[in-house]
Structure 1
Amino acid sequence: MFGGCTAKDDILIINDAQSNPLVQDSPTPTPTPSPKPKIVLYSVPFASQAPLLNWDELHNEACEEASMIMADTFFHKLSLDKNIMEEKIQKLVKWEEENGYTIDVTANEVAKILKDYFSLNASVKPINDALDIISELEHGYLVIVPAAGRLLKNPNYKTPGPLYHMLLVRGYDLNKQEIITNDPGTRKGEGYRYSYDVFFNAIHDWPKLGLGKDDVSDEEMNGSDKVMIVVSGI
């Protein structure tokens, strides 16, 4: 699964966080920059937030956990399948409960969990357009975004879709102007693509720390801050 990159016809598939050719540690001796690949795709393993198809309350709320687990799997070069995902979700939820986290967590809380539980470097940044996400991917980072789930308009969600959702960004397609994700909210979420406009419009952080979905309206959700969680590795 890991071990370098594959380039073909302006498509760059990055299999290893340490071998991203878009990131240069020292200045290049030539003044002419390399052309930007039209498609960049990190090989991030996928499993949904309900890997065993048990959509109970715990798994309906496990999008944050699944997104973090996928990022951890990539950077720490671990294996992932549905059984591993289930085990890791259960352990993470237990740890979160023991450490005072509620069902829905904000972007800042996710960044802290990534640091404290997974030993990953993560930070929360404001986002002004989809190109901000692409810029982080070009640095060799993954991005996790909080979203007003219903604005994503994913036909695979159970109607009307989640009020609050979180998903991992693993690439982009400049030709089609699409963001490529691992969306844990559906078993069809591996490599799921959203247009720049739809994706950016849906990005909104959880507006009320510690409160549940019954305490937040669609209007509040759709008007909250636009931020992203940048996961920059170990």
Structure 2
Amino acid sequence: MTRKEKAEFVVEELEKLYPETPVPLDHTDEYTLLIAVLLSAQCTDERVNQITPKLFAKANNPADMVKLDVEEIREIIKPCGLSPRKSKAIYDLSHILLDKHQGKVPQSFEDLEELPGVGHKTASVVMAQAFGVPAFPVDTHIHRLMYRWGLTNGKSVDQTEKDAKKIFPRELWNKLHLQIIFYGREYSPARSPKLEKDYITVAIGRKSVLKDYK
């Protein structure tokens, strides 16, 4: 297969498997999505979804969040890991939203990435899933599968994002990045991958792509 043919095959197969792509992180608005995505760093979506109801019961908007102190936030989110850094980021970014953005989550990559604890991936998720702006957030599943499928050289997450945006149509980015994540979790995990399950990789069939299965 050519690179273009591989990409077309991936799109076709993922659409069959995942015609619907619900956002994995439970949220009610842009702010709760932002906080959930921030918490998901080095933490599973399942764990985040267990923690956020407790946090949002106390504060589901910036004005209420700044009424809590950092230690109180930290105690709630501790099971997500990195709680000292994440709790301070949540508290500080809530202040910034109130001071600079009228309490609203900004709708630009630049403004989002200026917030504490918000990197390019988090900003991309918020822009895509909250505001519908085409973006291609790359997590470990996407980075791994794009390499296994021979669609990137795997040198860096940044390069994987650039390659994904080049080869996949812009109008598919927001749905496709979720489809790849779902596929990675179900069919092609990082540990103990099984070729009998990961049929997309088998169909693409490049030895260099399959070597990490041995």
Q: Give me the TM-score of the superposition, normalised by structure 2.
A: 0.32
- Indicate the structure whose relative CO is greater, using CA pairs within 8 Å and at least 6 residues apart: 1
Q: Give me the TM-score of the superposition, normalised by structure 1.
A: 0.30
Of Structure 1 and Structure 2, the greater helix share is in 2
Q: Bigger radius of gyration, 1 or 2?
A: 2
Of Structure 1 and Structure 2, the greater strand share is in 1
